[in-house]
């Protein structure tokens, strides 16, 4: 198997995981913990670099699964609603 075939196999593996409902839940969790939807700036430049590294992994997943910007936006909106709902119900 050459490098191109390995790369295509890797892309297919990412798609088989992250294009499922559970995969989207995992992707949302990774977005939250990586700061993907917020700012990663910190006064400490090393912390900023670390944060951007985490964010770049989410970007890699989005790129490899060929998820376009509108799908990413929908995913963020849907999961923010779920998070808000769960937070509200837990605190009631």
Q: What share of the chain is helix, strand, coil (3-state, %, to 5)?
A: 80, 0, 20
DSSP state of 38: S
What are the residue boundaries of the structural domains of the chain, listed by start? 3-91
How confident is the model at residue 40, as a pLDDT? 86
Task: Give the up-direction half-sphere exposure of residue 47: CA atoms within 13 A in the CB hemisphere.
Answer: 7
Q: What is the pTM of this model?
A: 0.81
Query: Residues 73-90: pLDDT tens digits?
Result: 999 988 888 777 777 776
């Amino acid at each position: 198997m050459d490098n191109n075939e390995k790369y295509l196999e890797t892309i297919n593996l990412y798609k088989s995981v992250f294009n499922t409902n559970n995969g989207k839940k995992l992707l949302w969790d990774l977005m939250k913990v990586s700061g993907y939807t917020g700012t990663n700036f910190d006064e400490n430049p090393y912390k900023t670099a670390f944060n951007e590294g985490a964010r770049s992994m989410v970007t890699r997943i989005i790129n490899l699964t060929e998820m376009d910007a509108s799908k990413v936006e929908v995913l963020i909106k849907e999961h923010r609603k779920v998070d808000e709902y769960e937070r509200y119900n837990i605190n009631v």
